[in-house]
A and B are shown apart, each in its own frame.
Chain A
Amino acid sequence: MTMNPNLDVYAARMLPEEEYFAPGHRACLGCGPVITLKLVMKALGPRTIVSEATGCMEIVSSTYPQTAWGVPWIHVAFETAASVAAGVEAGIKALQRKGRYPDSGRITIIAIAGDGGTADIGIQALSGALERGHDFIYLCYDNEAYMNTGVQRSSQTPYGSWTTTSPFGAKSIGQKTRKKNMPSIAAAHNIPYVATACPSYPFDLFEKVRKAKAIIGPKYLHIYSPCPTGWRIEPNQTIQIGRLAVESNIFPLYEVENGVWRLTHKPQNPRPVSEYLRAQRRFSHLSEDDLAAIQRMTDDDYQKLLNMEKATQPSAVKTASPKKATAKIARSSGKGGRK
């Protein structure tokens, strides 16, 4: 198929030159998560400690005796990105208070995991860390399946997608379930900041990471990171596919700041989801009816987001008492739901 040339535009050269996730790692050609981490680390800078889950980005970056990390980095197990980060935060807090840590300033702590490490095996540790209010950023690089073990389905694998454990066949469409909504789950913990991003929109991503860094408390970033190997696309399509995901509203870019939902990019004329789906061989088995069904789901989900934005915008909650504000939110969101 032919791509609109606009989808190939990628102007990340205006970002800082310093690399804290260095080239020379062992990732596949065109790896989306690598672009994500490269940009995120540029935004965070050197005063950062990384707690990483087992997974693609851990394996490709850390195999002894080499490391791609230019900042302190720790890996313990698959499900422990958030819990280890919580310990790092508590350790530094205690040691700084007692004057026994060499650095007395604020250090950014970031937990990094893939979609399986976040939404499946790590969700309990993540929820615990968000609920306890540690001052850290949690980053999920979502490539929609267990890619490190060879493309198995996760709870982030989208409806209809082929994976090795959600194969399509005479009695199966492939993945039978819809993506678990992780940003909403994170936001339900009443944390100060939740955002979605995609490295195809580097400035939007950069701004959100910078914002997360400045906010004290738990922050959750869900970053859409295409995987050419698992999605069955060409390595030079990573940026295009990310753009198509956003421009078709499959993966909307938004943020939730102190309970206020805001779409940071609203496609004026959304592209049909078929354009996004047909570009990837993991969806090549889907029928026209299937595509139509996914279009409806996508439209519904996008409308829900618009409703949340409307319901939580500051003008909708400018009442005197917090109690009334809550009531107003509930009413507005109810109205939106009936549209």
Chain B
Amino acid sequence: MARRVGIEVSLAVSEAVRVCDVDVISAYPITPQTHIVEKLSEMVAEGELDAEFIMVESEQTAMAACCGASATGARCFTSTASQGLQLMSEIVFITSAMRLPIVMAVANRALSGPLNIWGDHSDVMANRDCGWIQIFVENGQEAHDNIFVAFRAAEDPRVILPVMVNLDGFSLTHVIEPIILLDKEDLGDYLPPYKPVVRLDPANPVSMGPASTPGMYTEAKKALEDKLRGSKKVLEEAWSDFGKRFGRHYRAIETYKTDDADTILITMGGLSGSAQAAVDQMRAKGEKAGLVKIRLFRPFPLDDFLEAVRNARILAVCDRAISTGGMGGPVYVEIKAALYGRPDAPYVAGFIYGLGGRDVRVNDFEKIVQKARVQANTEIPQPYEIIGLKE
């Protein structure tokens, strides 16, 4: 039966993978992801998980081996971070195009250089357009729960796409939290065995991953785009069923005190908790602040987002990645594009924070809200601002 335990978040991810009864795990060590796969290899060694564990020689091979295994109809899991995600990036894009429903936990970490092992979202943002479903979790419970959701949505015959579960490196992966762990008995038929639509099988030969000409490539990309967009409905079903069974409810966009909010903070990932505390602080002072957390980044839940911010005058978008030489952080640019040209669109201010593990405190969110308000009242819109930069 479900039990509430104090456990490191990485290990809670491994526990979920075990309960999902994966068939093949292929991974390569990289900080801060290593605890996840260490625990999984231990589970395989102890016979607690009946899976093939391929300890490969690089992340590129980790994902390629998952592709091969997934093509046979095996349920596959891998995990990586940072440079690892960059090294496997080439294969990451192919995985979604080949419609292989692999689940990967990404312990989000800064990209070199300079080398930095701490958390931010540079790694996943460099792979933003890879065609995977991309979920960002806020705490350990969400990380654990969303592994089940990820496999369920990935393997749904209406989807058949890979899913990335993003959790902030160190500030989430390495903390111990009280987490309700599900076991196989609890899971029941929430996650049925994976039944591949096609698989590598000598009785029914298929060619997977063929070359395409200019006469077919656009259609292949459009098909992937449609499937990825269509996956939102299936994800919502998976979250809804999860809520009914286990009492924890998730949505693509979470709102906190947004109904009457004048200024709304927009966050993704583990810093959302601090932002929520900041909203409470500001509310206590009588300020109408609110928070929108983006849990589902791809496919981008546009309608849910517009609904969540429809009463706001100002949005303060917080990015944990920098788009060097660009128009601002990737989430900021995305939201500006989503709102541009819409009547009564709120003012959108962009902030970059928490790069390479730089600490972000509750008070920093108050400063962000104040800065956004100042910006909104100036005549010339400001470019994005980096929070906590040393002069």
Chain A residues at the B interface, C-beta cutoff of 8 Å: 46-49, 51, 58-59, 62-65, 67, 69-77, 79-80, 83-95, 97-98, 100-103, 107, 124-125, 127-128, 131-132
Contacts and interface: CB of A to CB of B under 8 A. Distances in A.
A223 to B, nearest CB: 22
Q: Among the interface residues A48, A62, A94, which one has the most CB atoms of the partner chain B within 10 A?
A: A94
A-B pairs with lowest CB-CB distance, top 9: A87-B68, A91-B69, A91-B72, A128-B57, A87-B65, A91-B74, A83-B64, A84-B68, A80-B64
Contacts of A84: 64-65, 67-68, 71
B212 A64 contact: yes
B23 to A, nearest CB: 4
B61 interface: yes
A254 to B, nearest CB: 28
Contact of B193 (A87, A100, A132): A100
Contact of B94 (A58, A64, A76, A86): A76
6 contacts: A67-B210, A70-B205, A80-B64, A83-B60, A84-B64, A125-B57
A90 B73 contact: no
B200 A74 contact: yes
A101 B50 CA distance: 15
B107 interface: no
A95 B74 CA distance: 7
Interface of B: 23-24, 26, 50-52, 54-58, 60-61, 64-74, 76, 90-91, 94, 98, 193, 200-213, 216
B208 A74 contact: yes
B50 A86 contact: no
Given A58-B211, A128-B58, A87 B205 contact: no
Contact of A80 (B61, B206, B211): B61
A98 B70 contact: no
A264 to B, nearest CB: 30
Contacts of A73: 205-208
B50 A94 contact: yes
Contacts of A63: 210-213
Given A73-B205, A91-B52, A102-B201, A83 B211 contact: no
Q: Among the interface residues B71, B202, B206, which one has the most CB atoms of the partner chain A within 10 A?
A: B202
Contacts of B69: 87-88, 90-91, 94
Contacts of B205: 46, 69-73
B26 A87 contact: yes
A84 B203 CA distance: 20
A145 B216 CA distance: 29
Nearest to B50: A98
Contacts of A95: 23, 72-74
A62 B211 contact: yes
Contacts of B76: 87, 91
A86 B72 contact: no
A334 B67 CA distance: 45
B207 A128 contact: no
A132 B28 CA distance: 14
Contacts of B212: 63-64
Contact of A93 (B52, B60, B91, B208): B52
Given A90-B65, A125-B64, 4 more contacts: A64-B210, A91-B52, A91-B69, A102-B203
Contact of A86 (B68, B71, B203, B204): B68
A72 B206 contact: yes
A187 B213 CA distance: 39
Nearest to B201: A102
Nearest to B220: A64
A58 B51 CA distance: 31
A62 B55 CA distance: 31
A89 B52 CA distance: 10
B65 A86 contact: yes
Contacts of B60: 79-80, 83, 125
B73 A77 contact: no
A77 B54 contact: no
B68 A128 contact: no
A177 to B, nearest CB: 25
Contacts of A59: 211
Contacts of B91: 76-77, 80
B46 to A, nearest CB: 16
Nearest to B52: A90
A72 B200 contact: yes
B71 A91 contact: yes
Nearest to B55: A132
Given A74-B200, A94-B23, A83 B68 contact: yes
Nearest to A129: B61
Contact of B61 (A65, A71, A125): A125
A172 B206 CA distance: 47
Contact of A62 (B50, B204, B210): B210
A136 to B, nearest CB: 10
A48 B202 contact: yes
Contact of B200 (A58, A88, A128): A88
Contacts of B54: 86-87, 90, 132
Contacts of B24: 87, 90-91, 94
A91 B202 contact: no
A74 B68 contact: yes
A77 to B, nearest CB: 6
B71 A103 contact: no
Given A86-B61, A94-B23, A71 B202 contact: yes
Contact of B71 (A71, A88, A100, A102): A88
